[in-house]
Structure 1
Amino acid sequence: MSDLNPATGQRLFIQRTQLAQAQLGPDPDAPAQRPLQAGEARLAVQRFSLTANNITYAAFGEAMRYWDFFPSGDAALGCLPVWGFATVAESQVDGLAVGRRVWGYYPAGTHLVVAPSKVSAHGFTDGAAHRRELALVYNQYQFCDADPGYRADLEDLQAVLRPLFMTSFLIDDFLDVNGFFGATQVLLSSASSKTAVGTAHCLALRRGRPGAPRIVGLTSPGNVAYCRSLGCYDAVLTYDALPSLDAATPTVYVDFSGDAPLRRAIHGHFAAADALRHSCSVGGTHWQALGAARDLPGPKPVLFFAPAQVKLRSGPPPEGWGPAELQRRMGEAWVGFLAQVAAGDWVQIDARLGAPAALQAYGQVLGGQVDARQGVVVALA
């Protein structure tokens, strides 16, 4: 059991320019630190996941404003955004009852004070002033008892996979909307990362349809067998086997690694035949190798921003489906993916309890020391 003081709580703080430098400190949203104001509620964060996706949030914290969601009070320090579950501990909001369990986007800590707006039977939006200009998709919170995609017995899997699968679903949809840019092959780096696996799963559901692309994963030698066992890749290669791919095959590159030398090698490989049709930058699992994309042969890499695709599909036809239909399609896809993951034992939950264990887990995820099959879930309190 944790000896954490519930009044002060704890939160993980990261040096924005030195991601390996992390520390624990009192949670600024804990009861002893911040009394509630009218219209506010305090959420007690109970379980959250730590994946390569969170490292991407940190690596792109300045450029994509991820640090702005949960201000630390110190310009040098950032609060790492995570996905997980919390319970309403205190409420000064009509319609938001104490004890309600909530899924959403939190700082890696024990508490979050929100200013709920648009409270409905399904959830609410955090209308805090500092979040109003940030991407809406990160500001929405769902009540677990009103969420058709929630399963109490698979809560840890949801914490690990659901935020990543949302991105996977939207990448697949983005590629489909654009006709795969005329490519017949989709090449995914960091193929063992959970967002890449989710994307490959969505792409694999298109097998047998006209225009469905071949799905090729690139990964490290230790993860080849795992990636092949999933059945969603048509081929899995080690990074040094890149030259074995046919350089004339029209290809879309989906970059989950952010590895600048790898990106240059892929662009160069397909450049001679002008076969690289689109270069899509998604993540930064290889955060230490992040670099600029200037002077690359072939198309300029374009950063994929999931909220932009949400905005497109939330709009009216013909480009959009409307908000309700988007949620229905994403929910249906998520339920199918969760069932396949659970049945196939694709992910083994690695629960870390207590603040020191959380700090250690962050270091291991940052250093790429977590096995691809593991899903790290943290409970600070």
Structure 2
Amino acid sequence: MASSQTNVEMWVEQADISKIAFKKAPIRALDENEILCRIDSFGLSANNVTYAALGKSFRYFEFFPVVGGKGDAAKYGKVPVWGVATITKSRHPSIKTGERIYGYLPLAQYHIIKVSPSGLTPSFFYTLRDHLPEDRKVYNQYFRVTGDPFYDPKKEGEMMLFRPLYWTSFFLSDYLNEKKHFGAKSVVISSASSKTSFCFAWMSKQRGLSTIGLTSQGNVAFVKSLGFYDSVLTYEQLGQIPAQDSLYVDMSGSKSLARKVHDQLGSNLKRAISVGLANTGESRGTFPEGTELFFAPPWMKQRQEELRGTLLQLMIKSWAEAMAKVDDWVKVKRLSGTENVAKTWETMAKGRTPPDIGYVLTLSDSATGQSKL
């Protein structure tokens, strides 16, 4: 029996992710062990721009494949987001309607999840994506908020904004610490105003590293206000980077900036790590030779095996410390409806969002619970 409900999804053009289209389609009937989730809200940040910019090369568009007319799958991609959803229909015996979950979702109003036959606990369950590499399994986990150790209803918006970014920062910091920071005593961090960057800077400061933030002139005041960068330089002040043994952590994706930092540090550069892609306009070209690409899921998987029984407690402690300070870092701004989502995405894709605002969005109109499409 077909469903009378309809879904609205936001698609981006693969050739230019600032261009979007909203697509409306009926929601199919559920198969056995499937659940229908209404996506209540989701965080939107430079992290999601990275997912879209790397949609083909890193296979982010394969998590939620486009199903549409002829040529749509080649032209468009669905942007993954981290959000909170309510289960409105269930054909799984252990998952009830009304339950709320947190996890990796498409930028849409609704999503159907096929629940894996294994791995279900009171805290989480998995979906299956056999077409993707094993190291992407972290994206297949959905947390049931009633048993989620990281969930706090008072910080739900902050969780959606910071949680995926925070664990990238956490595991990068852990990785570099395990490598004894490659002998460096300081770390230079680009896109210093981004959430991933400043969370990493906060952790680096706790580990005793000197932190140097690189940012645009317009973001200098914000970056300084955070209080855990020892110095803040604009991209025009690279000549002031101290001649000391340093790491370079690139969060911008700018190859030209990376080359300038390499030239400035010379033999003092102990390691260059590329993590993100905050500025999609700078994504072309090549990084200087020797740049290491850090992708968090494989390292997370390794540490889960090495720190079995203790890693979760370390993560809970670190997360609690961050959430106690998060109100000093950003203010949550909630918006609803396709028009607001479109404007926010366009601004974000062009790198123009203020660093002190965190966007929590929903495609539904707040008054009606439906899209205005």
Task: Mark yes or no: TM-score above 0.5.
Answer: yes
Say if 1:200 and 1:232, in contact at 8 Å, map to a contact too. Answer: yes
> Are residues 1:305 and 2:288 paired?
no
> Are residues 1:63 and 2:57 paired?
yes
1:3-82 equivalences under 5 Å are: 7-26=5-24, 32-73=26-67, 74-82=73-81
> Are residues 1:338 and 2:323 paired?
yes
SS in 1 for 2:101: strand
> Are residues 1:329 and 2:322 paired?
no
Say if 1:96 and 1:119, in contact at 8 Å, map to a contact too. Answer: no
Say if 1:216 and 1:234, in contact at 8 Å, map to a contact too. Answer: yes
Quote the residue 1:227 is aligned against: 223
Quote the residue 1:94 is aligned against: 93
Q: Percentage identity across aligned positions?
A: 33
Distance apart, 1:259 and its partner CA: 0.9
Distance 1:221 1:105, change over 3 A: same
Q: Distance in 1 between matches of 2:206 and 2:325?
A: 12
Distance apart, 1:148 and its partner CA: 2.3
Q: Deviations over 1:296-353 (max 9, x none)?
A: 3xx51111101011111011xxxx102x4222211221111011112x2x21112111
- Bigger drift between 367-376 and 127-136 goes to 127-136
Equivalent of 2:253 in 240, 258, 261:
258
Structure 1 length normalisation: TM-score? 0.90
Q: Distance in 1 between matches of 2:316 and 2:74?
A: 37
Say if 2:11 and 2:21, in contact at 8 Å, map to a contact too. Answer: yes
What code does the residue aligned with 2:205 have?
A
- Bigger drift between 326-335 and 221-230 goes to 326-335
Q: Which runs of 5+ in 1 are unaligned?
A: 207-211
Q: Deviations over 1:83-111 (max 9, x none)?
A: 11001111111211111110111011111
Equivalent of 1:361 in 302, 320, 344:
344
Distance 1:6 1:336, change over 3 A: farther
SS in 2 for 1:106: strand
Distance apart, 1:33 and its partner CA: 3.0
Q: Distance in 2 between matches of 1:379 and 1:67?
A: 20
Distance 1:93 1:128, change over 3 A: farther
SS in 2 for 1:262: helix
Distance apart, 1:292 and its partner CA: 2.9
Query: What is the root-mean-square deviation of aligned Cα atoms in Å?
Result: 1.6
What code does the residue aligned with 2:302 have?
L
Distance apart, 1:130 and its partner CA: 4.2
Quote the residue 2:304 is aligned against: 314
SS in 2 for 1:10: strand
Distance apart, 1:72 and its partner CA: 0.7
> Are residues 1:178 and 2:184 paired?
no
Quote the residue 1:270 is aligned against: 265
SS in 2 for 1:75: helix
1:156-171 equivalences under 5 Å are: 156-171=157-172
Distance apart, 1:191 and its partner CA: 0.3
Say if 1:88 and 1:101, in contact at 8 Å, map to a contact too. Answer: yes
Distance 1:292 1:325, change over 3 A: farther
How many pairs are equivalent?
355
Q: Deviations over 1:49-72 (max 9, x none)?
A: 110011111111111111110001
Say if 2:4 and 2:27, in contact at 8 Å, map to a contact too. Answer: no
Q: Distance in 1 between matches of 2:129 and 2:274?
A: 30
- Bigger drift between 167-176 and 121-130 goes to 121-130
Q: Deviations over 1:7-27 (max 9, x none)?
A: 212111011121121111125
Structure 1 segments (4+ residues) deviating >3 Å: 128-134
Quote the residue 1:137 is aligned against: 138
Say if 2:191 and 2:251, in contact at 8 Å, map to a contact too. Answer: yes
Q: Deviations over 1:128-149 (max 9, x none)?
A: 5445756011110111111122
Quote the residue 1:281 is aligned against: 274
Structure 2 length normalisation: TM-score? 0.92
Q: Which runs of 5+ in 2 are unaligned?
A: 68-72, 365-373
Q: Distance in 2 between matches of 1:6 and 1:188?
A: 50
What code does the residue aligned with 1:281 have?
S
SS in 2 for 1:9: strand
Distance 1:269 1:69, change over 3 A: same
Q: Deviations over 1:262-298 (max 9, x none)?
A: 1110111122xx111111111111110112325x3xx
Quote the residue 2:370 is aligned against: none
